Amino acid sequence: MRFLNLLLFGFLVSLSAENAPHWGYTGEGAPKNWGDLSNEFHACKYGKYQSPIDITDIIESDSEKPVVLSYKNEAKEVVNNGHSLQVNFKPGSVLRFDGKDFTLLQMHFHTPSEYTFKGKHYPMVAHLAHQSKDGQLLVLAIMFEEGEENAIIKQIWENAPKKAGESKELAKVAASELAGKIENYIRLDGSLTTPPCTEGVIWIISKNNATASKGQIKFFTDTIGKNNRPTQPANGRVIIMSE
Ligand SMILES: [Zn+2]
């Protein structure tokens, strides 16, 4: 009996040692299976307001609040986490929206864009993830068109580790320049687009697009692969565009 208990204990320990389920974009860990990989990923399968979605029926509004960026651009590092290339920021870069401050935590990329516009992807997107003091998440999305080389992308790519799990220190990344001015934007409620797919995320998609060269977009795809979660049901979500 004692031996059996030990066996069982050993089994449980080995299970919990693997408590970070393997998720990705292909094979067993592909997006359609995310919700089955872990109880913690429940929202990926059963959530009603998941991201991304296809942006189609937009309500135009002239009473939308301004989005004001006060970024210090003080970064910590660029990480290759196997799912994306991500720049982590020191506290102090703030996005103000609707009277509330959201601190920039990190910026990462997807190829192609995750949100689509009448079914059409942009070749790349930057997601700038923020959090308020009371825990509200807000992601600012900057779409990239293929065009001129982007100096900020150049800096990040040049420092980005090729190997998953590695990072490199980076003191300054001009996120404010990459984002530009947020004049017109689309706003909707959604979720994180990676497990655990947490809902209650404010999404702001800037209409002021950035550019990156063909080679820069290819570099990301060559390093990380395609990493866009497919679009999810909108379930009657309200999509607002500021005028
Ligand atoms: Zn993202």
Cβ-proximal residues to 228 (8 Å cutoff; 6+ apart), any chain:
25, 52, 110, 111, 112, 113, 114, 121
Helix (H, G, I), strand (E, B) or coil at 200: strand
How far apart are alpha carbons 210 and 109 in whole angstroms?
13
Contact by Cβ (8 Å): 232, 166: no
Please give the distance, rounded to the nearest whole angstrom, from the Cα atom of residue 63 to the centre of ligand 1.
28
CA-to-CA distance for 95 and 67, rounded, in angstroms?
7
148 CA → ligand 1 middle, Å: 23
Q: How far is the CA of 15 from the centre of ligand 1 (A)?
A: 28
83 annotated active-site:
yes
pLDDT tens per residue across span 26-54: 999 999 999 999 999 999 999 999 999 99
Enter the tokens of residue 138: 């807000």
Ligand 1: centre distance to CA 190 (Å):
12
Distance separating alpha carbons of residues 126 and 206, to the nearest angstrom: 11
243 pLDDT band, cuts 50/70/90, is confident
Q: Which of 42, 83, 121, 130 is labelled catalytic? A: 83
The pLDDT tens digits of the residues spanning 82-132 come to 999 999 999 999 999 999 999 999 999 999 999 999 999 999 999 999 999
Beta strands in the chain (DSSP E): 54-55, 59-61, 67-70, 75-80, 85-89, 94-97, 100-110, 116-117, 124-132, 137-146, 166-169, 185-191, 199-206, 210-212, 240-242
As a whole number of angstroms, the distance between CA 51 and CA 203 comes to 9
Supply 69's token pair.
Answer: 């960026």
Tell me the CA–centroid distance for residue 134 and ligand 1, in Å. 21
Q: What is the per-residue pLDDT across 160-181, written as a single tens digit (0 to 9) for each?
A: 999 999 999 999 999 999 999 9
